[in-house]
Structure 1
Amino acid sequence: MSSPSDGYPTIMLSGTDHDLPELLEGTYSKYSDERLLFNGRKAYLEAVFDNVTGRMVARKALRHEFRNDAEERRRFLREARVTAQLAHPNTIPVYEIGQTKMGSLYFTMKLLRGEDLYETIKRISQRDASALQSYPLSVLMDIFLQVCQALGFAHAHGVIHRDIKPENIWLGQFNEVVLLDWGVAKVWGVEDPPWEPEDFQTVRPEETVDREQLRTLTRSGQLPGTPLYMSPEQILGHKSIDERSDIFSLGVMLYELMTLKEPFYGETVRKTFDLIIHDDPIPPKERAPHRNIPDTFEAIILKAMEKEKKNRYQSVMEMAHDIQIAKDAII
């Protein structure tokens, strides 16, 4: 990974993964009126009322059965601390990190209302009148540029997201755009272990899976990613993952925004990986001729998704610059 930008404090492993001191127990009791928002396998998300500040907040908590699991605690704390340290208009504010008397970790953050970008893409593809009116190409590009700003800010602090996808982009009811889920981020000082496709949870690499499964499939351990959006070097297990891997994922997401289809999909995890490593995507204009995709955007997408990272955009802000120029040309 290349060095963070000069002048920006680097977010390092020593500042994200250490466990909490015991004195932080006890603040959990100030929350009430819990309402479940999302129930995951290892963590859950609730809307809760903070009786001290007098406001509703979101509280993410590690499930009780993982409270003594050192790896899951480390990963959970990294998500909370990286999110807290990346204070940017397009990241979510973290208010508190703590643990219950029983030792379960939690952190609280701003409560968002809206939907993720994937739900928006689905509504557009279904020709939902409201979505078509609210999200013309210019608005979608504004959203994408805000994601680029958040990611560029993270890269300047030495953080690689490693799981860029529409599901991790939240669109608020008042035009907020927030890049979420830093739980598998790579911070300065982290090296990844070798891995195999068999490491992905819930399915075998040769098992037939549909698109929805591939969108949510994760790997246990340190090396993260969602198969449909992973870069070739992520799939190949390279230790030198840097910001250009996030740029590849951005290219995949931009392709999907433009065509409303994923560029790489195989019937199995292994076939999907083979497509990403070896095959060029169908050009966006050919894939979705009815979307009237400008040539300039097609060129940006294909450059971001080059197999060799040296041929991609070398920084998120370089890519954002080209997108802004292309957007201005069509308005």
Structure 2
Amino acid sequence: MTDTLRYVPNVSVDSTLLSPGASRNEGLPASTQVPVPTHRGTVLPRVQWNGDRQDVVPFQRERFEEVRPLGQGGMGEVVLLKDHDIERMVALKRLPEGADLDRLLRFVEEIRTVGQLDHPNIVPVHDVGIDQRGRYYFVMKHLQGETLESIIEKLRQGDRAAHAHYTFPIRVQIFIGVLNALGYAHRKGFIHRDLKPANIMVGPYGEVTVVDWGLARRVSQPGETAQASGSTGAAATNLREAASLRTQLGAVVGTPLYMSPEQARGQHDQVDVRSDTYSLNVLFHEFLYLNHYLEGRQSLADVLEGVQKHQPELFEIPNNPHQSGVPCELGWFLTKGLAKDPAQRYQSVDEMMEALRAVMDGRIQVLCQRTAIKRGLHGLLRQVDRNPVAVIIGSTLAAGVLLASLGHLIFVLFS
């Protein structure tokens, strides 16, 4: 079925945008060739003063000016542009010339997926088009800041400024921003399938954005019947099903170090929101411990074997020399999140959020001696706010008894 799959775009192009004998996208698959606009000019006018009179005059120039490249990947390149109409910097992601049908399908699905995910923690799409060289592109917000991957590397190397800023509570807040994005996407019916530190942007004011939704797809919730698009025998009736169908044929989809065990086994019919929750816990583990739980594995076969079988012993991991120990309650949080069996890990991002909120509020689950002590101390701190007079009186009396006991002991010893 998929060997004969062809995507024939239904494109209507204004004749005023075409030069005589416009090209047919040389280098692209024949089934994707369409007329190409020669340019995209600005449309907003400018104000010109003639004495005391204001004149609004047309101002036409190329709308987008390419500034510099921002990055390159398997799905194409990202460049920084100056938008001369709106006077802002934007990012443009485009397919390379000669892109095959599979990459085109995934590119289109990425645009349509992100276009449906209107959330502050998900990068928005501003525009789409085809440039003069026949390359499909979309324009999105230019994100300031750095990737979580870069932040982890700075912390791992002992950058003092990074450690001063990214304390454990701040790391938890950043992770909650990621959870907000994924919780929203899951409620809209999409899973990401490629969650990793390189796909998380952290801005200078704490903004957290999840990017690169090129492998995202619609999925059923745990326990629901799989959609028709998840079956390789189903007929692809639209572009979304076609892209999902072609993805199903691959043995492994995602980034091996961060994928779930079911992804590593190529069991695409079993990949649901719990696969994303596993990947989220992998990147959170690395953010906290500054060491990947599969550190040292070199070959793809070793990595995939580790994803399926290696259960990290979180409380036996040596502390990074540049930071204090990871709070035990966060270690227990990750223990459940990294369960190999989907039924044993967090069943939703909402469940993860509730568990983290409990930790932040001091409602720590008693699972070991350390958590028991911290639970008691947090309880005492809450009592200080709820009953300050009683706590002050009680602590004063306790201090008095302690001092009296010490005085009596000293008297006995020296008398």
After TM superposition, the score normalised by the length of structure 2 is 0.65
Instruction: Identify the match of residue 166 of structure 1 among 191, 197, 207.
Output: 197
1:26-61 Cα deviation digits (max 9, x unpaired): 364521143211133441111111222222110111
1:254 and 2:284 correspond: yes
* Aligned residue number for residue 58 of structure 1: 91
Instruction: Identify the match of residue 282 of structure 1 among 307, 313, 324.
Output: 313
Q: Which amino acid aligns with 2:261?
A: P
* Aligned residue number for residue 302 of structure 1: 335
The alpha-carbon deviation at position 100 of structure 1 amounts to 2.1
Q: 2:251·2:266 contact (CA, 8 Å) conserved in 1?
A: no
Gaps of 5+ in 2: 1-6, 15-35, 41-61, 220-226, 233-247, 363-373, 379-415
Q: 1:263·1:282 contact (CA, 8 Å) conserved in 2?
A: no
* Aligned residue number for residue 230 of structure 2: 191
* Aligned residue number for residue 254 of structure 2: 225
1:234 and 2:263 correspond: yes
Residues of 2 paired with 1:19 and 1:262: CA distance?
A: 43
Q: Which amino acid aligns with 1:116?
A: T
Q: SS at the partner of 2:180?
A: helix
Q: 2:149·2:198 contact (CA, 8 Å) conserved in 1?
A: yes
Gaps of 5+ in 1: 1-16, 194-218
Q: SS at the partner of 1:274?
A: helix
- Spell out the pairing of 1:133-152 with structure 2 (5 A cutoff): 133-152=164-183
The alpha-carbon deviation at position 222 of structure 1 amounts to 8.4
The alpha-carbon deviation at position 223 of structure 1 amounts to 4.8
CA RMSD, Structure 1 to Structure 2 (Å): 2.5
Of structures 1 and 2, the larger Rg is shown by: 2
Residues of 2 paired with 1:102 and 1:133: CA distance?
A: 47
Residues of 2 paired with 1:55 and 1:20: CA distance?
A: 31
Residues of 2 paired with 1:275 and 1:79: CA distance?
A: 29
The alpha-carbon deviation at position 305 of structure 1 amounts to 0.9
Between Structure 1 and Structure 2, how many residues are aligned? 288
* Aligned residue number for residue 13 of structure 2: 23
* Aligned residue number for residue 182 of structure 1: 213
- Spell out the pairing of 1:86-165 with structure 2 (5 A cutoff): 86-165=117-196
Q: SS at the partner of 1:57?
A: strand
Q: SS at the partner of 1:58?
A: strand
Cα–Cα, structure 1 residues 248 and 192, in superposed 2: closer, same or farther, change >3 Å?
farther
Q: Which amino acid aligns with 1:319?
A: M
Q: SS at the partner of 2:98?
A: helix
Residues of 2 paired with 1:48 and 1:20: CA distance?
A: 28
Q: 2:121·2:181 contact (CA, 8 Å) conserved in 1?
A: yes
Percent identical among aligned pairs is 33
Q: SS at the partner of 2:177?
A: helix
1:270 and 2:309 correspond: no
Cα–Cα, structure 1 residues 254 and 307, in superposed 2: closer, same or farther, change >3 Å?
same
